[in-house]
Amino acid sequence: MGQTIYDFKVNDINGQELSLSQFKGKVILVVNVASKCGFTPQYKGLEELYKEFKDAVVVLGFPCNQFGHQEPGNAEEIKNFCSLNYDVTFPMFEKIDVNGANAHPLYTFLKESKPGLLGTEAIKWNFTKFLVDKNGEVVKRYAPTDDAQKIKKDLAQYL
């Protein structure tokens, strides 16, 4: 069997390493997030999705400052922003790069598993989303403009 998302370790927003294998059996939605983006209000829908399907679905937020410098804050500032403005309770992780030479290995895997339009692998903007099924396989890639409602419609087939 090939590589799955469970093969990766990531640091949470407090700097603690954790294995994504702890989410085995759940549908996972991986999102590169930013606090100062036009799509930032999507935090609200993502949080609602997480709360509604908490037993079966987990949303993982990865702050990234590669698009228009829209995530300039440090971990503490990002945590405070998400908590105060959107009451985010889904897991948040350390700020990472999703493109380029320093891209996090998780994102290299996600992009190779589900390329975007015309086969391009690069993440185009904040709030690009990857849906991973209960077996750790990347099954869908969503554009930054795709909101939680669109994702919710697709969830049924993976739950």
What is the distance between the alpha carbons of residues 36 and 121, in angstroms, rounded to a whole number? 24
Give the domain CATH number at 12.
3.40.30.10
Whether 111 is covered by a domain: the verdict is: yes
What is the distance between the alpha carbons of residues 109 and 52, in angstroms, rounded to a whole number? 28
Which of 5, 20, 33, 37 is labelled catalytic? 37
pLDDT score for 1: 52
Q: Pick from 124, 132, 131, 128: which is nearest to 145 by CA?
A: 128
- Taking the chain (159 residues) in consecutive chunks of 10 residues, what is each chunk's mean pLDDT? 89 97 97 96 97 96 97 96 95 97 97 89 96 96 95 93
pLDDT score for 2: 77
Can you say whether the dihedral through the CA atoms of 32, 38, 44, 45 is positive or negative? negative
pLDDT score for 117: 79
Whether 53 is covered by a domain: the verdict is: yes
Whether 158 is covered by a domain: the verdict is: no
pLDDT score for 7: 96
Whether 146 is covered by a domain: the verdict is: yes
pLDDT score for 119: 85
Counting Cα atoms < 13 Å in the Cβ hemisphere of 40 gives 16
pLDDT score for 112: 95
pLDDT score for 156: 87
Whether 159 is covered by a domain: the verdict is: no
Please tell me the total count of domains within the chain.
1
Whether 142 is covered by a domain: the verdict is: yes
Per the structure, the complete domain to which residue 115 belongs is given by 5-153
Task: Mark whether 82 is an active-site residue.
Answer: no
